[in-house]
Chain A
Amino acid sequence: MEDTMPALVRAFVEHEREAALLLSEFMRHVARVARPYPDAYFVLSQKNSDAVDDLGHRAFSICTSVEKGRFPFSGRAPFTAYVEEQFDGKTIRYHSFYAKISITRELLRDDYAFNLRRNPVLRWRAELYADIGAILKATYEPVVQGRGVPPKWQPSGSGSGLRMLQPPEVVQARLSQLKQPSLDTLVHESIAQCGPMTQSRLTNMLEAVIGAPSDFQPEAAPIEENTADRMGVRTAVAEAWTALEPADQGLIIALSKGASYEELISGHPSLNNKVSVSRAVSRVGQLFLGSVIEAMGIEAAPDATPRSLMEPIMAMLSEIFPNDFA
Chain B
Amino acid sequence: MSAELYNQLTDSSVTHTGTDALVAAFALEGRLHRAALELADAEMLEGTWVREEAEAEQVMRYAADDRAELQADYSSEEYTVRVSMDEDGWAATQTMGLSGASLKIEGDWYALTPGQPTIVPIQALPESLLLVDLNGRELPLKR
Contact = CB atoms under 8 A, between A and B. Distances in A.
Contacts of B19: 282, 285-286, 289-290
A147 interface: yes
Contacts of B47: 100
Contact of A130 (B2, B25, B32): B32
B6 interface: yes
B98 interface: no
Interface string A148-166: 1110000000000000000
A125 interface: yes
A285 B18 contact: yes
A126 to B, nearest CB: 4
B59 A94 contact: yes
Interface string A243-268: 00000000010111111010010000
A285 B23 contact: yes
Q: Which of A95, A147, A256, A281 has the most CB of B within 10 A?
A: A281
Contacts of A282: 19-20
Contacts of B1: 274
B42 A200 contact: yes
B14 interface: no
Q: Which of A99, A127, A201, A259 has the most CB of B within 10 A?
A: A99
Given A126-B32, A130-B34, A255-B9, A307 B46 contact: no
Interface stretch (B48-56, B104-112, B131-139): B48-56
Q: Which of B27, B32, B40, B48 has the most CB of A within 10 A?
A: B40
A76 interface: no
A277 B51 CA distance: 48
B31 interface: yes
Interface residues of B, number: 53
A290 B19 CA distance: 7
Interface stretch (A10-18, A49-57, A108-116, A222-230): A108-116
A113 B28 CA distance: 16
A72 B59 contact: no
A151 to B, nearest CB: 10
A127 B34 CA distance: 10
Contacts of A258: 10, 30-35
B8 to A, nearest CB: 10
Interface stretch (A29-37, A59-67, A174-182, A184-192): A29-37
Given A126-B36, A272-B2, A112 B9 contact: no
Interface stretch (A19-27, A210-218, A232-240, A310-318): A310-318
A320 interface: no
B7 A256 contact: no
Contact of B44 (A91, A94, A106, A276): A106
Nearest to A29: B87
A125 to B, nearest CB: 7
B49 to A, nearest CB: 5
B68 interface: no
A203 B48 CA distance: 13
A16 B51 CA distance: 34
Top 10 A-B residue pairs of the complex, sorted by shortest distance between their CB atoms:
A285-B19, A258-B34, A116-B36, A306-B25, A130-B35, A113-B40, A200-B42, A310-B29, A289-B22, A261-B3
Interface of B: 1-3, 5-7, 9-10, 18-51, 54, 59-60, 62-64, 67, 70, 85-87
